[in-house]
Structures are given as structure tokens and as C-alpha cells.
Structure 1
Amino acid sequence: MIDTSLSDWLATPQGQYLLVREQAFFDHAVADIFGFNAVQLGLPQHEFLRSSRMPLRTVAGDESGVNLRLLPQELALETDSLDLLLLPHVLEFNDDPHQILREAERVLRPEGELIISGFNPRSLWGMRRALGGREGYPWRGQFIALTRLKDWLALLGFEVTGGHFACYAPPFASTQWLERFHFMEPSGDRWWAVWGGVYFLQAKKRVPGMRLIKPRWNEGLVSKLLPVAPKLNRDVTQQIQEDD
């Protein structure tokens, strides 16, 4: 379960450094995903769905400030009801990340989108956790390797469609030192992209055996709707039926 202390940590210079990049990614990612229902799980203080065009957007979770109170591993939502689900640092702070992903697969519609952010254990941030102790946030979390997360998603029928890394500077506690190492951001994207302190993964729920059912065109109806050039209409109708 995401503890409110994670939100407290995001207010620190270290957390703000991460949050700026995290907000930018979500703003870009959700803007071009279409549908009706979108849910952000956890961290209600931060509007990661603010750029979404979906009419129904809500924040759910087991903490104060959410619109819908529920457990991440027991989503009180209908099966196949969501078009988009965000999991911002949910998996590494829960005892059963597998169950959360199973619930995500259940509540998403076929072709629904799942976006996950997580701390990368194979980075300077992961090294800080391994060598500097695991007290406090975010170090107390169970950082999940990206390869392992991809395997979990594949077993559930998700197809990974995109990803991104960020936060290449060492996890300094002060704003001054983080700014001094700002040069590592563009360099990291170019030269050591997989070593970013945080990763983002975008996946789509696939349902085997599904196929789109095309409509059968009514030649008479098409001719009535396009009476100006009947011969052209017949040719167009014939071509449509051949393509179908």
C-alpha cells in the first residue's frame, strides 16, 4: 500500500526532481489515449491525468484525498470497465505486486492502456538503496527490475508499447547538487538510457482471438444516400464489398 510518507518525500528537493520529470511524462503519455474511463491509483495530491481527454477521470486508492477508496490488490471496479489505468509507484510499495497487475488486467477493457512508473534498481538510485540502507522513502520499497516487470505483463497478456527512463543524476538530497548534475539528463537519454533512476512502461491489454467485425454495406442504401452519381456509387459500393 502506498503510504502518505511517499507524498511527503515527493515534497523534498529529491522528490521534486523526480516529480517534475514524472509529471511531464504522464502529461505527454495520457494526452493521446482515447476512451471514456481513466483511473489513477494512488498519489491523489498529483494530477497525473490532467492532460487526459477522457470524460470520466478519477483517483482511487487506500489513502486520504482519493475519490474512490479501495485496495490496490482488490479493485472495486467492474471487469472490462476502464480504458486507462495509471500505477504511479504502486507496485514497489505493495506486498503483492502480482495481484495488483492481475486486477489491472481484469478491470481494463480489451485494448485498454496501462502505464506504470517505478524506481529502477539498475541505476544510481538503485545503488543508493543497496548501499545506503532501506529506511524511509523511497528506499524502503521493493524496486522491481524492468525485465521482470515485462515478464509479468507478458504472462498476463499485455503487450508493451512504449517506455522511457528519467532521473539520471545521483539521488542527492539538496537542490544545489541536483542542479549541478543536470547535465546528466540529456547525456543519459543518449548514452546510458536504461540507467535512469525511474522508468515508465506503457502496455496494452491484448485479448487472443479477437477480431474486428466489419459492417455489411447495403448497396441500395448507399445509392440512395449518394443519388448524384449512381454509376460512381455502384463502383464505390462494389469496391467496398470487395475490400470487405
Structure 2
Amino acid sequence: MSDRTIIDWPAWTESPAGKYVLGWEQEQLDRVVSNIFGYHALQLGLPQLDALRENRMSCRGLVLDAASATSAPYTVPGAEPLPALPRSGALHAPAGRSTVWCDHLDLPFEAQSVDLIVMPHTLEFTSNPHRLLREAERVLMPEGQLLIVGFNSLSLWGARQSAAKVTGHPFLPAREDLIAFTRLKDWIKLLGFELERGRFGCYRPPLATEKWLGRYAFMEAAGDRWWPIFGAIYMVSAIKRVRGMRLVGKVKVKKPALAASLAPAATTPSPTRNKDS
């Protein structure tokens, strides 16, 4: 894990830029998860976002990384370090849901037991994103769905974050480097997922004040039409496909068609000639 300065997530989500991003993400997730059905749904990380709010599955849980809760505190440039959260800290799932503290790279769930997994910026806070994707693939049922939300490196926000490597003042709260959308697509395809849809959003420049973000509100409609792949945020929806899987049901046996039998051609007797003629 990088030892560079890390922006604290809770503090950033209360900033104008953070509210702008979480507002768009919440709207998109509410629309998508409402049409996904099953029995078990999980949200990995980011308790500041209620990714399963509109989902109607009976068992919904928030899975938080125990290592991040007991590790060194996050720091904000120019501010005092925030205390580390205890394992039984104040972060809890919304009412009616359970909270699970565990290692995201070793999920304590049986294979093929979950219908939906939502990972809001989870890959950007893990030291091994490919292993985390393998864990998600393991616990998902066949035809289960995976939703991934992340910062788009091919955007103005990604460019500003890249420049932070030189200045030492990051703009986005990511522990690891941002994952390009094209790279993420390759990873999920290698794991047997089928990309269902991709969505981009948040086209305003990376500005820190609400006043300046409001002045560029016109870029939302323009960006969605003219440069859609350069939004600051992407949301990927993928379905776990299992090769060789068939629907089990009543087998209908078709009777083999009988070959047409050969019949001798009918011969017509030739007309007898009148002997007297």
C-alpha cells in the first residue's frame, strides 16, 4: 500500500465535490438495483453511500474492511490526523441490515451464495484489486450481478489526480492508482463476466467550491452527449456467466422421423388393340 498522503473519505464526502459525486452515484444506483432480484445482496465498503437503498432483496448487508478500521488513520493535507476507527466503530449499515467486518480479500461467504455485489470505489482502496474481483466472482451465484463504481482516469478529475503525484496534494480520496475503464473491462471479462452496461457521469471540472461547480452545471448535458466516456465517474454492470450451464426442466424426447418407405411405381396397363381393326 502506498505511503503517500491520503484524503479522508468521510471528510471528502462532506465537501462540495464529494456531495456532487455521491449525489450522482446514489441516483444511478437507486435506478439500477431496484430491478435486480434475488435473496442476498452485499455492498463492499463506502458506508457513506447507501448503494442498496432501493433494492428489494430480503437479505442485504454492508461489508466493511476490518484492516482499514484498525490501520493507521487517514490524513487530510494541512489537518490533524483523524483517529482510527475501532472494529466495532460507529460505522453501521442502515436500519434493517447487517454489518460484517472482514478482510475484503477473503470474504467469509460460501461460494455461489450471493445474488448481487456492489463495490462503490472499493477497488481504489485495496492493495490487490484483481484478487478482490476474484473473491466477488467466487461468492456470486451464476447469473449474479456485479456493480462497480469508480473514478475515471480518462477525465479531468483523473488528470488532476495524476498531477498530484508531482505536487503531493491529491484531489480524490484513493489509496491506490485509479483504474482505467478499459482495464477494468479486461479484468472482468477474464473472470467470466459479461459486461451488461457502462455509464459515465459527473462532467463538471474538478473544482473545490460549490459556487464554481454550479457555474459549470451546463456541462452535464453537453458531456453526456458529446464526450460521454470522459465523465469523472463510471459505473459498470456485469453478469457472471458459467459455461456449460443449462436450465434444468422436463426433457422432451422427440420421436425420430421415420424414413419414407419406397413403393413400386404403379404401372398402368397399356390399352389392348382391337384385333378386328
Indicate conservation of the 8 Å contact 1:166/1:196, yes or no: yes
TM-superposed deviation, 1:7: 2.4
SS at match of 2:8: helix
Aligned twin of 1:227? none
2:182 aligned with 1:147, yes or no?
yes
Please, which of 181, 185, 199 is the counterpart of residue 164 of structure 1? 199
Please, which of 155, 174, 187 is the counterpart of residue 209 of structure 2? 174
Indicate conservation of the 8 Å contact 2:26/2:51, yes or no: yes
Normalising to structure 1: TM-score of the pair? 0.84
Deviation per residue, 1:199-234 (Å, 9 max, x gap): 0000000000001122358xxxxxxxxxxxxxxxxx
Aligned twin of 2:225? 190
Q: Which amino acid aligns with 2:57?
A: M
Q: Structure 1: any 5+ residue segments left out of the alignment?
A: 218-240
2:126 aligned with 1:123, yes or no?
no
Distance in 1 (CA, whole Å) between partners of 2:7 and 2:17 is 16
Distance in 1 (CA, whole Å) between partners of 2:209 and 2:7 is 22
2:211 aligned with 1:211, yes or no?
no
Distance 1:209 1:84, change over 3 A: same
Deviation per residue, 1:33-60 (Å, 9 max, x gap): 0100000001123211010011111101
Distance in 2 (CA, whole Å) between partners of 1:72 and 1:11 is 25
Distance 1:190 1:151, change over 3 A: same
TM-superposed deviation, 1:139: 5.4
Distance in 2 (CA, whole Å) between partners of 1:204 and 1:135 is 37
Indicate conservation of the 8 Å contact 2:112/2:140, yes or no: yes
Aligned twin of 2:137? 105
Distance 1:187 1:61, change over 3 A: same
TM-superposed deviation, 1:8: 2.0
Distance in 2 (CA, whole Å) between partners of 1:175 and 1:141 is 27
Q: Which amino acid aligns with 1:212?
A: L
Distance in 2 (CA, whole Å) between partners of 1:4 and 1:143 is 14
Query: Identity rate of aligned residues, in percent?
Result: 47
TM-superposed deviation, 1:23: 0.2
Indicate conservation of the 8 Å contact 1:93/1:142, yes or no: no
Q: Which amino acid aligns with 2:142?
A: P
Distance 1:175 1:4, change over 3 A: closer
Distance 1:180 1:91, change over 3 A: same
Q: Which amino acid aligns with 2:212?
A: W
Structure number having the greater helix percentage:
1
1:22-171 alignment to 2 at 5 Å? 22-62=25-65, 63=69, 64=89, 65-66=91-92, 67-133=99-165, 135-136=169-170, 137-138=172-173, 140-171=175-206
Indicate conservation of the 8 Å contact 1:39/1:57, yes or no: yes
Tell me how large the CA RMSD over aligned residues is.
1.9
The alignment of Structure 1 onto Structure 2 pairs a total of residues equal to 218
SS at match of 2:247: coil
Max Rg structure:
2
Distance 1:54 1:139, change over 3 A: closer
Deviation per residue, 1:142-164 (Å, 9 max, x gap): 10011110100011000000110
Normalising to structure 2: TM-score of the pair? 0.75
TM-superposed deviation, 1:131: 2.0
Distance in 2 (CA, whole Å) between partners of 1:126 and 1:46 is 21
Q: Structure 2: any 5+ residue segments left out of the alignment?
A: 70-88, 93-98, 255-277
Q: Which amino acid aligns with 1:98?
A: H
